[in-house]
């Protein structure tokens, strides 16, 4: 049963890592080419649409499954240590950055009224939002990749033992 838990944990971790990686190497690059108003409208739409059950299952599921897996493997070194490091990387570098960095920016953008704003206000909002959001997303991407590498190593070590 613990092996199945570990496989599910690795799968959820990979899904989230893929999401943030795809944003970093394609989505934000495409959005960056849009005009200020188009960019803000697109990000508002994306930020609203990502709040769906599939995203929540994988994002929150990973935040739950990594610590649960760590608990179940607590007596098996180095599997325990790898899972502990993976859980910490995810909870701090992905979940924490999202909740305390990206989400507040998303909320600020969501409240911004593009239709009734001047071109100058729209530019200012983009300047406030874009670089900070992208930097935070890059942090999430790096920590997601670290998390999946540690989780895959856990699977390998678990198989060896």
Residues in the chain predicted with pLDDT less than 70, given as ranges, are 160-161
| In 11-160, beta strands by DSSP E | none
CA pair distance 12, 61, nearest whole angstrom: 7
pLDDT at 1: 80
Mean pLDDT score of the chain, rounded to an integer?
95
* Domain range summary for the chain, segments of one domain joined by +: 2-160
Phi, psi of 33 (to 5 degrees): -85, -5
Say what the pLDDT of residue 160 is: 56
Name, in order, each residue with C-beta under 8 angstroms of 91's C-beta and a sequence gap of 6 or more: 63, 66, 67
Write out pLDDT tens, residues 66-85: 999 999 988 888 899 999 99
Report how far Cα 76 is from the mean position of its chain's Cα atoms. Answer: 28
Cα gap 132→136, rounded to integer Å: 6
Summarize pLDDT for 105-117 with one digit per residue, the tens: 999 999 999 999 9
Task: For residue 108, say if its preceding peptide bond is cis, omega within 30 degrees of 0.
Answer: no
> Given this model, what pLDDT does residue 61 score?
97
State residue 138's pLDDT score: 96
What's the whole-model pTM score?
A: 0.91
The reported pLDDT for the residue numbered 3 is: 87
Q: What is the DSSP letter of 76?
A: S
């Amino acid at each position: 049963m613990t092996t199945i838990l570990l496989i599910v944990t690795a799968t959820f971790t990979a899904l989230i890592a893929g999401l943030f990686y795809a944003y970093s190497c394609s989505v934000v690059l495409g959005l960056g080419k849009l005009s200020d108003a188009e960019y803000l409208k697109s990000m508002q739409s994306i930020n609203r649409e990502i709040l769906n059950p599939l995203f929540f299952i994988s994002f929150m599921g990973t935040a739950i499954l990594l610590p649960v897996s760590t608990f179940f493997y607590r007596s098996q070194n180095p599997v325990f240590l790898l899972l502990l490091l993976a859980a910490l990387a995810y909870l701090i570098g992905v979940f924490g950055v999202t909740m305390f960095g990206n989400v507040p920016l998303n909320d600020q953008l969501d409240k911004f009224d593009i239709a009734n704003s001047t071109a100058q206000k729209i530019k200012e909002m983009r300047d406030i939002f874009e670089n900070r959001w992208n930097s935070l997303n890059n942090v999430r991407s790096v920590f997601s990749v670290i998390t999946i590498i540690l989780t895959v190593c856990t699977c390998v070590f678990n198989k060896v033992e």
